[in-house]
C-alpha cells in the first residue's frame, strides 16, 4: 500500500515469475489480469468488539480491543453503503459483543456478502443459541431498513479460538442461497460457501479457464476442489462438456447442484455431476477426462500431483492462490509443460494473488 498501482502490479508479476523460475518460459506468460485497486471486495468479515451500547465492527487490535472498519476502502460500493445501515440496525438489536480476554458476550462476527445485483447475505456468528430469538424478532426491521437482504443466518461457534465459524448453521429467511451472476452463470452461495472475494477479477479468471478449455476441443472435464462449481459451470455454459465436479464440503456441492439445475433448465448445452468427496480419490475408477481443472486451497494438490503425472490426462488447468505450493506441485509433474500462464491480481494492495496455468503433457 502507498505505492502506485502500476508498480504494485509489476512487483506482483516479478514475485510470481521468480518463484516459478524455470518451470514457466517467458513466452507462456500472458498479460496480468486486474480490476479496481480499491472498493473491490464483495464480502465483509467483521469481528464485533466494543460494548452492547457502542459496538465496533472490524478487527481486534493487539490488546484484543475492537477497531471499527465499517468505512474500509476495500468494500464494493454497494456493500460499503449497506454496511453503514446494517450495523446501525444490528447495534439496535442489543447483542453483547464477545469479549475475547474475558470470554463473555455473544456476538462474535458479522459476515456480509454482496452480489452484483445488490442483494445481500447476512450471517451472525454467535457463541450460543441464547440470542437467536432476539435476531428472529429483529428480522422485519432489518429487511425494512435494507430490502436487498435476501438471506439471513446464524452460525453457532461456541469454542474460544480463532475460528470464524462453527458446524451449526441456522437459516432464518425463506431463501437459503444468494444468487451471484458471474461469467455467464448464476452461482448459488450458501452462508458457508467459499467464493472469490473479488467478483470482477473472478470473472476474468473463469473466462480465461473457459477460453483454454474451449480451445482444447475437450468434451469431458473434471473440476476438482470445485467449491460451488464456478469453474465447471462457467466453462460448461460455453462449450458442450461432460463436467464432473468433486468437493469435500457438502454445502458447496448442494449449491453447485442447484446452480447446475438452473443452468440446464435454460441452457442444456452440457451435463453436470457434482459429488461430495476427496478430490484425490473420488474419481479413481472413472474413465479419464480430456482436461482436469484443479482449484485447491493454499497447500496445493498434494498427492494428486503424482496421480495426475501417472494418469495420462492430456491437459491440466491449475488455479492456484499460492505460487509456492504451485511450484512444488509442478515439479512433481515433469511430463507436463506449462503452455500458458497468467497472474490475476485478486487481492489488490497485497502480495496475495491467483495464478492460472495450462499444462500440456509432452
* Maximal C-alpha separation, the chain: 65
> Angle 33-358-12 (CA atoms, 0-180°, nearest 5)?
35
Judge contact between 146 and 89, C-beta under 8 A: yes
As given in the structure block, the three cell numbers for residue 278 are 476427496
Q: Is 259 helix (H, G, I), strand (E, B) or coil?
A: helix
Chain centroid to CA 247: 13
DSSP state of 264: H
Distance separating alpha carbons of residues 297 and 174, to the nearest angstrom: 32
Give the residue from 142, 127, 137 showing the smallest Cα distance to 97. Answer: 127
Q: Is 321 considered catalytic here?
A: yes
Distance separating alpha carbons of residues 27 and 242, to the nearest angstrom: 31
Helices assigned H by DSSP within the chain: 5-20, 77-93, 132-145, 199-216, 230-236, 250-266, 304-311, 323-331
As given in the structure block, the three cell numbers for residue 228 are 460451488
As given in the structure block, the three cell numbers for residue 179 are 444468487
SS (H, E, C) 93-124: HCCCECECCCCECCEEEEEEEECCCCCEEEEE
Annotated catalytic residue: which of 233, 237, 321, 326?
Answer: 321
Judge contact between 205 and 339, C-beta under 8 A: no
- Burial class of residue 63 in the structure, from the number of CB atoms within 10 Å of its CB (0-12 exposed, 13-18 middle, 19+ buried): exposed
Task: List, by residue number, the catalytic residues.
Answer: 321
Amino acid at each position: 500500500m502507498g505505492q502506485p498501482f502500476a508498480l504494485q502490479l509489476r512487483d506482483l508479476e516479478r514475485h510470481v515469475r521468480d518463484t516459478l523460475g524455470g518451470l514457466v518460459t517467458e513466452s507462456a506468460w500472458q498479460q496480468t489480469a486486474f480490476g479496481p485497486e480499491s472498493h473491490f471486495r464483495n464480502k465483509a468479515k467483521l469481528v464485533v468488539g466494543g460494548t452492547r451500547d457502542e459496538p465496533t465492527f472490524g478487527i481486534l487490535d493487539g490488546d484484543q480491543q475492537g477497531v471499527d472498519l465499517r468505512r474500509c476502502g476495500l468494500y464494493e460500493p454497494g456493500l460499503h453503503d449497506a454496511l453503514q445501515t446494517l450495523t446501525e440496525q444490528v447495534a439496535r438489536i442489543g447483542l453483547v459483543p464477545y469479549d475475547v480476554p474475558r470470554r463473555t458476550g455473544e456476538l462474535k462476527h458479522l459476515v456480509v456478502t454482496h452480489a452484483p445485483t445488490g442483494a445481500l447475505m447476512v450471517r451472525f456468528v454467535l457463541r450460543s443459541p441464547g440470542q437467536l430469538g432476539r435476531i428472529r424478532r429483529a428480522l422485519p426491521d432489518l429487511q425494512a431498513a435494507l430490502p436487498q437482504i435476501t438471506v439471513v443466518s446464524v452460525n453457532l461457534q461456541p469454542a474460544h479460538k480463532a475460528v470464524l465459524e462453527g458446524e451449526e448453521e441456522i437459516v432464518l429467511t425463506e431463501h437459503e442461497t444468494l444468487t451471484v451472476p458471474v461469467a455467464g452463470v448464476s452461482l448459488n452461495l450458501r452462508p458457508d460457501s467459499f467464493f472469490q472475494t473479488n467478483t470482477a477479477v473472478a470473472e476474468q479468471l473463469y473466462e480465461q479457464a473457459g477460453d483454454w478449455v474451449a480451445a482444447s476441443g475437450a468434451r469431458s472435464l473434471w473440476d476438482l476442489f470445485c467449491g460451488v462449481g464456478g469453474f465447471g459451470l462457467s466453462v460448461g455454459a460455453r462449450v458442450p462438456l461432460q463436467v464432473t465436479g468433486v468437493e469435500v464440503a457438502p454445502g458447496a456441492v448442494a449449491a453447485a447442484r442447484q446452480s447446475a439445475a438452473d443452468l440446464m433448465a435454460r441452457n442444456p448445452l452440457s451435463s453436470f455431476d457434482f459429488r461430495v468427496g476427496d478430490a484425490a480419490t473420488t474419481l479413481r475408477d472413472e474413465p479419464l477426462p480430456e482436461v482436469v481443472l484443479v482449484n485447491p486451497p493454499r497447500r496445493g494438490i498434494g498427492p494428486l500431483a503424482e496421480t495426475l503425472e501417472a494418469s495420462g490426462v492430456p491437459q491440466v488447468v491449475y488455479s492456484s492462490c499460492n505460487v509456492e505450493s504451485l511450484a512444488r506441485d509442478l515439479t512433481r509433474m515433469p511430463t507436463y509443460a506449462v503452455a500458458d500462464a497468467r497472474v490475476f491480481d485478486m487481492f489488490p494492495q497485497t502480495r496475495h494473488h491467483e495464478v492460472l496455468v495450462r499444462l500440456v503433457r509432452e
